[in-house]
């Protein structure tokens, strides 16, 4: 059996400080530059309205305030004259230099993988002109005994309230990832847990972008053969999002430099499902409260139904996404020292604890 104690030296430093997440980001950055040069494609900031390098640190900063301010109010007990000293005391307790560097390092590594992922995803139509939608639909119909999964769900849940509900699920997921990253970096008092999760998500982006490039597909809602299946759904936030993403794709394919944006349509695998599986497994391995575990798994189920019901993904995309999410949790466990032998297990080293 492998020694469960944390490794020392360079290997230990890489495990505790997002070294392998940074390595994934650097590898993706190199791939982005190579594809950009060879295929003559522009590299863009994936968040033009509020740049990610501003938005994500802002999320972390807001999380720090949420971490400190309630404690400040509770500890000062209305004595305004003590707020300054109490604030400094809390910052020394909660935000040591080591923990600040931990949070900043995690945000940096995650954003590098996210930004390069978005660019690599946008490159897909130019790098690989094949399309696998027909094959993926055939696999779905084989697995569902000749039926399209989306049609089955429309018949099961109807095309009224369910469309609004699943659109809401999809909307919640969009905000879940940056919020979960902030939680992992700010409120996590055990840095090995935060490092494990952030590294796993970085690996999700890396593996997902690689498969997108190898197996290009658009998803049922964008294919000629299946688009009509979703026309009976009421107008929701999802309708506007689907139209916007298609307009971006048409603009990018038509004029990659003049469009000024990225295209983000790629179906196989479903990273919505992949990252939710990552979240569920990490929550389980870290041993968070039972109610958090239950909510995570329930939301995973709703995410699977939403992605199929709304036409974003084929059922086989869901299977592939779950495989990606599971694999990245395991490989990130090995990369961050959270394992005994080849079995994922949260490191329980006492030196890793920060006072709550």
Give the pLDDT confidence of 6-25 residue by residue, as tens digits. 555 445 555 556 889 999 99
Would residue 4 count as lying in a domain? no
Mean of pLDDT values over 130-138 = 94
Would residue 140 count as lying in a domain? yes
Give the pLDDT confidence of 47-86 residue by residue, as tens digits. 755 666 676 667 667 777 777 777 777 777 666 666 677 7
Give the number of other Cβ atoms within 10 Å of residue 255's Cβ: 10
Would residue 23 count as lying in a domain? yes
The pLDDT, as a whole number, for residue 97 is: 76
Could you give the percent of the chain with pLDDT greater than 70? Answer: 86
For residue 320, give its domain range. 9-352
Would residue 2 count as lying in a domain? no
For residue 94, CA distances in Å to 65, 72, 100, 234 come to 11, 11, 9, 48
Give the pLDDT confidence of 28-46 residue by residue, as tens digits. 999 999 999 999 999 988 8
Would residue 132 count as lying in a domain? yes
Would residue 1 count as lying in a domain? no
Coil/strand/helix, residue 190: strand
* Residue 352 or 98, more confident: 98
Give residue 356's pLDDT band: very low, low, confident or very high (50, 70, 90): very low
User: Is the peptide bond prior to 269 cis by the omega test (within 30 degrees of 0)?
Assistant: yes
Q: Which of 69-83, 245-259, 298-312 has the lowest mean pLDDT?
A: 69-83
**Rounded Cα–Cα distance for residues 306 and 170 (Å):** 7
| Backbone conformation region of residue 161, classed left if phi is above 0, alpha if psi is from -120 to 50, else beta | alpha
Would residue 68 count as lying in a domain? yes
Instruction: Provide the whole-model pTM.
Output: 0.86
The pLDDT, as a whole number, for residue 11 is: 54
Would residue 333 count as lying in a domain? yes
Give the pLDDT confidence of 323-339 residue by residue, as tens digits. 999 999 999 999 988 88
Q: How many structural domains compose the chain?
A: 1
């Amino acid at each position: 059996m492998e020694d469960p104690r944390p490794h020392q030296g360079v290997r230990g430093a890489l495990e505790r400080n997002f070294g392998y997440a940074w390595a994934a980001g650097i590898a993706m950055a190199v791939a982005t530059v190579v594809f950009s040069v060879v295929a003559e494609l522009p590299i863009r900031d994936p968040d033009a309205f509020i740049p990610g390098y501003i938005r994500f640190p802002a999320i972390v900063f807001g999380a720090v305030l949420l971490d400190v301010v309630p404690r400040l109010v509770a500890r000062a007990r209305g004595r305004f004259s003590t707020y300054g000293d109490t604030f400094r005391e809390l910052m020394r307790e909660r935000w040591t230099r080591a923990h600040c560097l931990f949070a900043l390092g995690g945000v940096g590594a995650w954003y590098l993988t996210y930004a390069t992922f978005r660019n690599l995803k946008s490159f897909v139509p130019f790098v690989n002109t094949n399309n696998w939608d027909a094959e993926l639909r055939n696999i779905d119909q084989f697995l569902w005994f000749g039926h399209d999964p989306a049609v089955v769900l429309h018949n099961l849940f109807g095309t009224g309230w369910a469309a609004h509900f699943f659109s809401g699920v999809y909307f919640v997921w969009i905000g879940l990832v940056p919020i979960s990253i902030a939680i992992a970096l700010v409120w996590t008092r055990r840095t090995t847990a935060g490092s494990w999760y952030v590294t796993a998500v970085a690996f999700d982006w890396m593996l997902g972008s690689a498969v997108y490039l190898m197996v290009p597909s658009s998803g049922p809602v964008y294919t000629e053969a299946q688009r009509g299946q979703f026309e009976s759904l009421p107008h929701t936030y999802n309708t506007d999002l689907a139209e916007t993403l298609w307009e971006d794709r048409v603009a990018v394919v038509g004029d990659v430099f003049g469009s000024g944006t990225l295209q983000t349509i790629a179906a196989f695998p479903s990273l919505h499902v992949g990252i939710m599986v990552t979240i569920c497994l990490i929550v389980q391995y870290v041993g968070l409260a039972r109610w958090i575990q239950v909510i995570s798994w329930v939301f995973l189920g709703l995410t699977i139904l939403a992605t199929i019901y709304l036409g974003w993904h084929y059922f086989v995309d869901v299977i592939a996404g779950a495989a990606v999410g599971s694999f990245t949790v395991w490989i990130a466990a090995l990369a961050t020292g959270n394992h005994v032998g080849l079995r994922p297990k949260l490191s329980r080293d006492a030196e890793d604890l920060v006072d709550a």
